[in-house]
Structures are given as structure tokens and as C-alpha cells.
Amino acid sequence: MIIGVGIDVAEVDRFRASLERTPGMAKRLFVAQELLLPSGERRGIASLAARFAAKEALAKALGAPAGLLWTDAEVYVEESGQPRLRVQGSVAERAAQLGVKSWHVSLSHDAGIASAVVIAEG
């Protein structure tokens, strides 16, 4: 059963400017693993923008309640290339209240726009 669906888009250049304007913003939005590629290199801005869009879409799928922490949701990619969500704390608590058992996430970025869709399933 689908409990919630969320979608979000982020303009990559605008997201880049926000991160440059507010240096501590990346640490408030992302866990350390999200900022780096498996090789240890810094992740590209389009990929970060897509992850941000996924977190916004996740909040929408949960009904956009107040009090969710950005770092209580982590977007990661399996070896197969499929994106996944790992939740804890405030996000896991809200998901449990709604009966969420699994997540589906899709990320994309092209032509300066990053997008994400999240489906919460019970």
C-alpha cells in the first residue's frame, strides 16, 4: 500500500549558489557519506542537488511535518546503481507513525535541473 508520494526539483546553479553563500549548509543538509564518492572524492553539485531534492520529496511523502532533520535521511546508491534511502531519528519516527515499511526513490539531473521522486510504502 502506498502511504505517500513526494516529488521535488532543484535548480543546480541556484543550489550551488546557496551552498557557496552559506558554507555550513552542506553539513546541515547531508551526512558525511553523501558528500563523498566511494573513491573519497567530493560528489558533484548536480548529484548533491538531486539528493537534496530527494530529501524534500521524502518530507512531502511523509506529509511535510515540522521537526524533521535533514541529516536523519541519507540517500545512498547500491552497487547496482539503484538509489536508496536510509532513515533514522525524526524521519524514522514519522515513518513508523505512518506505517512505512519501505522506500522507493528515483533521482535525475539534466539541463541544470535535479529532480527526485520518493514513494513511501507500507
pLDDT in the model for residue 39 = 79
Query: Phi first, then psi: what are they for 78, rounded to 5°?
Result: -70, 165
Give the 3-state secondary structure of residue 16: helix
Encode burial over 74-83: b for 16+ CB neighbours within 10 A, e otherwise: bbeeeeeeeb
Q: What is the CATH number of the domain that holds 95?
A: 3.90.470.20
pTM of this prediction?
0.94
Give the 3-state secondary structure of residue 64: coil
Question: Once rounded to an integer, what is the mean pLDDT over residues 77-89?
Answer: 95
Residue 53 burial (C-beta neighbours within 10 Å; 0-12, 13-18, 19+) = buried
**Structural domain for 83, as ranges:** 2-121
Question: Once rounded to an integer, what is the mean pLDDT over residues 54-73?
Answer: 96
Is pLDDT of 88 > 90?
yes
Give the 3-state secondary structure of residue 36: strand
Confidence band for 74, pLDDT divided at 50, 70 and 90:
very high
Q: Model confidence over 14-51: pLDDT tens digits?
A: 999 999 999 899 999 999 999 998 778 989 999 999 99
Confidence band for 2, pLDDT divided at 50, 70 and 90:
very high
Mean pLDDT of the chain: 96
Number of domains in the chain: 1
In angstroms, rounded to a whole number, what is the distance separating the alpha carbons of residues 104 and 29? 20
